[in-house]
Amino acid sequence: MERALSTAHPVQPALPARRAGAAWRARRWAPYLFIAPFFVLFAVFGVFPLLFSIWLSLHQWDPAAGLESMRWVGFENYVFAATDPWFHRSLYNTFWFALATGVPQHLVALPLAYFIHRRLKRSRNAVVAAYFVPYITSSVAIALIFSTLFSKDYGVINALLGTQIDWLGDATWTKPSVAFVIFWRFLGWNVVLYLSALQVIDNELYEAATLDGAGSWQQFRFITLPLLKPMIFFAVTLTIIGNLQLFEEPFILVDPEKGVSQSVMTSAIFMYRLAFSDGDFGTASAVSWMLFLIIAALTWGNSRLFGRTGGQHEA
């Protein structure tokens, strides 16, 4: 009888089953715990500032008085910015720099990258590194160097030309001088982009074109340019985004106390002065979102120009 009872009521392995369930849940949630710090940091330093800037653009706010001083004004900040002549002037300067520096960058970088790719073999890496160094150099260091070069009394450029031109103090020369610095700094970046795209083009295409009697110009026009279309789209898009947010070079090179600084005041500098000089953070936030819409519209137009939608070629 005792033997029968012992076999009729076996012991249940409840504890091992609970441990297995806990281990399964730990394995299930472990990946999310590992990536949670990224999402927390992204929410705090990415999503929250983005949403707060939208909310701030609809308010008038004195930061010194705390959050309690925020007053709802709706779209008044946007209307004020859109009708402000200084904002119009900053947009004009921004587009002027975008065209004066962006277009020459690509017109020079593309043929230069093609020449380096086709003609230079042993010294290619050294030449590319020399062109790329300005891009990775500190903006402050570049501004200090060119401030010395452009100096009216002791500058190397005036010494070579035998002139006394105030390159950064005369409104006639200030814009071209700053534009040259921007062009010089970002030329190497575009050369690297185009060179990386050229290196993946099959060399057999050029060999076949040579056998068919195609010259260098014909090869460049009918082989290189069509195959570089995706990279040109990418490089021009980066140029549009970067140039419309231009801030460092004109801000550091030109003394803001001089009247000529208004001739190089970009939209980003105008936004900075609204926020940190005038204390009008609401209008500054509105300007930032207006600038975002302009960049988005031009980027969309660029994608249509290159026949791309969503990163894919149109039929």
List, in order of start, the domains of the chain with CATH numbers.
13-72 (no CATH), 77-313 (1.10.3720.10)
State the Cα–Cα distance between residues 158 and 161, nearest whole angstrom: 5
HEC per residue, 178-198: HHHHHHHHHHHHHHHHHHHHH
Tokens of 117: 């790719």
Q: What mean pLDDT comes out for the span 172-195?
A: 93
Ramachandran angles phi, psi of 256, nearest 5°: -65, -15
Per-residue confidence (pLDDT) for residue 216, from 0 to 100: 82
**18/226: higher pLDDT:** 226
State the Cα–Cα distance between residues 134 and 184, nearest whole angstrom: 7
How high does pLDDT run on average in the chain?
Answer: 86
- Terminal CA-CA length for the chain: 85
Q: Is the pLDDT of residue 262 over 60?
A: yes
**21/54: higher pLDDT:** 54
Q: What mean pLDDT comes out for the span 113-119?
A: 89
Three-class secondary structure of residue 71 per DSSP? strand
- Give the contacts of 40 (CB within 8 A, at least 6 positions apart): none
Tokens of 228: 């570089």
Query: What does the pLDDT look like over 265-281, one tens digit per residue?
Result: 999 999 999 998 888 89
> Which amino acid is present at 171?
A
State the Cα–Cα distance between residues 224 and 219, nearest whole angstrom: 7
Q: Is the pLDDT of residue 118 over 50?
A: yes
Q: Is the pLDDT of residue 311 over 50?
A: no
Three-class secondary structure of residue 80 per DSSP? helix
Residue count of the chain: 315
Three-class secondary structure of residue 154 per DSSP? coil
**1/44: higher pLDDT:** 44
Q: Is the pLDDT of residue 314 over 80?
A: no
**63/194: higher pLDDT:** 194
Q: pLDDT tier at 19 (50, 70, 90 boundaries)?
A: low
| Residues 259/174, Cβ–Cβ less than 8 Å | no
State the Cα–Cα distance between residues 105 and 111, nearest whole angstrom: 11
Q: Is the pLDDT of residue 2 over 80?
A: no
Q: Is the pLDDT of residue 96 over 60?
A: yes
Q: Is the pLDDT of residue 13 over 70?
A: no
- Placement of tokens 């419309």 in the chain: 244
Per-residue confidence (pLDDT) for residue 135, from 0 to 100: 92
Per-residue confidence (pLDDT) for residue 312, from 0 to 100: 45
| Residues 175/108, Cβ–Cβ less than 8 Å | no
Per-residue confidence (pLDDT) for residue 32, from 0 to 100: 83
Q: What is the DSSP string of 203-229?
A: HHHHHHHHHTT--HHHHIIIIIHHHTH
Q: Is the pLDDT of residue 30 over 90?
A: no
Q: What is the DSSP string of 267-304?
A: HHHHHHHHHHTS--HHHHHHHHHHHHHHHHHHHHHHHH
| Residues 265/89, Cβ–Cβ less than 8 Å | yes
Per-residue confidence (pLDDT) for residue 290, from 0 to 100: 94
